[in-house]
Amino acid sequence: MAFIQIKDNQIELDEDGFLMNPDDWNEDLVAYFAKQEEVGEVTENHWKVINYLRDYFKKFGVAPMVRKLCKETGFSLTEIYGLFPSGPGKGACKLAGIPKPTGCV
The catalytic residues are 104
Q: How far apart are CA 80 and CA 100, in angstroms?
A: 16
How far from 93 is each of 26, 54, 78, CA to CA, in Å? 13, 8, 16
Nearest to residue 34, comparing CAs of 79, 86, 78? 86
How far from 56 is each of 1, 24, 86, CA to CA, in Å? 26, 17, 20
For the chain, give the number of residues. Answer: 105
